[in-house]
Amino acid sequence: MEERPVTLSQPEGRNDFRLDGKVAAVTGGGSGIGRAIALKFATHGAAVRVLDLSLSDAERTCQQIASAGGNAAAFACDVTDQKQMKDTFAKLSEQGPVSILVNNAGISHIGTLESTTEEDFDRIFCVNVKGFYNCMSAAIVSMKVNGGGVILNMASIAGSAGLADRFAYSMSKGAVIAMTYSVARDYLAFKIRCNCISPARVHTPFVDNYLRKTYPDREQEMFEKLSQAQPIGRMAEPGEVASLALFLCSDEASFITGVDYPIDGGFFNLRD
C-alpha cells in the first residue's frame, strides 16, 4: 500500500477538533455538563443551539458564548414532549441543518427496587429514555436528508455497573447505551455516527445541591467520600467530559461509531 505524504506545515493541534460550519444542538445545555459541552463546541467553531427546560438557563449559556464571540441561540423545550421536540428541530433546521445532536438532558434518582415508586420509575423513564428517543427521532430525518451527522448520547457508568441505590437511574442509562448501539447499526448507510459517553461522578451543581439537601452538616465530608470513590481520587470536571464530547463529534473521530466511552477515573478497571 502506498504511503501518504506527511506534512508538518501546520502547528500541532491548530486545526484539530474543529466544528466550523456545523450546527450542534445540545439538550440540557443550560447547566452542568451540557453547558460545558455547549461552550466547548462554540469555542471550536460550531453554531450551538442550546435546548433546555429552563429558557433563562439556556440564555445564560448563550450569553457566555456570545461574550466570547461565538454563535448560539436558546430554545425552551421539554424533551418528554415528542411534538414539541419535532417542532423545535423544525425551527432549528430553518437556521441551518443540525449536523450534531448531543443528548444530554436527564434527571437522577436515588433508590432501590423497593423504594422506587411507580411515579419515580415513570418519571425517570420518560426523561432519560423517551426523551433521548424523542430527540433522536426529531433529528435523524434531517441528518439523513443532509448527508449524515453525529449523535452523542450521555449515558453513565450506572448503565453498565452495579451501583447501590440507583435502580431506576441505572435502568435508564442502560437503555441509553442499548439505543446508542442500535442507532449506530441502523444508520451506518446514512453516514450517521452514534456514540455515548459514560461518566462516573462529575462535579456539577446537581452534586452540590444533593449534598446540601441530604447532608446539611456534613457536606465537605461527604464530598470527599464521593470523590474518593473514583480510584483517581476526585470527581470529573464538566469540561473534561466536554473535551471527550468534542473529539467524538469532530471529524477526527470519523471512524468511531457504536461505542460507549467510559470517563470514570479508573472506576471499572482500577477498583480494589
What pLDDT digit, counting tens, does each position of 90-120 carry? 999 988 899 999 999 999 999 999 999 999 9
> Chain-wide mean pLDDT for the chain?
92
List, as own/partner pairs, every contact residues 184-189 make where C-beta atoms lie below 8 angstroms and the sequence separation is at least 24, other chains included: 184/257, 184/258, 184/259, 185/258, 187/140, 187/143, 187/144, 188/257
Q: What is the pLDDT of residues 256-269, one digit of tens each?
A: 999 999 998 888 88
Please give the pLDDT value at position 6: 45
The tens digit of pLDDT for each residue in 139-155 reads 999 999 999 999 999 99
Answer whether residue 9 shows pLDDT above 50: no
**Residue 10: its pLDDT value, please?**
46
Predicted pLDDT at 211: 87
Pseudo-torsion of CA 237, 238, 241, 243, nearest 10°?
Answer: -100
| CA–CA distance, 91 with 9 (Å, rounded to integer) | 41
| pLDDT for the residue numbered 2 | 56
pLDDT > 70 in the chain, percent: 94
Of residues 4 and 189, the one with the higher pLDDT is 189
Bridge partners (DSSP) of residue 263 are 199
pLDDT at 85 over 50: yes
Whether 254 and 49 have beta carbons less than 8 Å apart is answered as no
pLDDT given at position 205: 82
Q: Is the pLDDT of residue 253 over 50?
A: yes
pTM metric for this prediction = 0.91
- Band (213; pLDDT cuts 50, 70, 90): confident
Rg (Cα) of the chain, in Å, rounded?
19
* Res. 218: pLDDT tops 50: yes
Could you give the residue numbers annotated as active site? 169
The DSSP string of the chain is: -PPPPP---SPTTTTTT--TT-EEEEETTTSHHHHHHHHHHHHTT-EEEEEES-HHHHHHHHHHHHHTT-EEEEEE--TT-HHHHHHHHHHHHHTS-EEEEEE-------B-TTT--HHHHHHHHIIIIIHHHHHHHHHHHHHHHTT-EEEEEE--GGGTS--TTBHHHHHHHHHHHHHHHHHHHHTGGGTEEEEEEEES-B--HHHHHHHHHH-TT-HHHHHHHHHHTSTTSSPBPHHHHHHHHHHHHSGGGTT--S-EEEE-TTTTTS--
Residues 220-236: what's their mean pLDDT? Answer: 89
**Which grid cell sits at 236?**
470529573
> How far is 132 from 175, CA to CA, in rounded Å?
10
**Burial of 222: CB neighbours in 10 Å, binned 0-12, 13-18, 19+:** middle
User: What is the CATH code for 23-200+236-263?
Assistant: 3.40.50.720
Residue 226's pLDDT band, with cuts at 50, 70 and 90, is confident
pLDDT at 7: 45
19-23: average pLDDT: 96
How far apart, in whole angstroms, are the C-alpha atoms of residue 218 and residue 121? 29
With a cut of 60, say whether residue 176 has pLDDT above it: yes
Q: What is the spatial distance between Cα 272 and Cα 269, in angstroms, rounded to a whole number?
A: 9
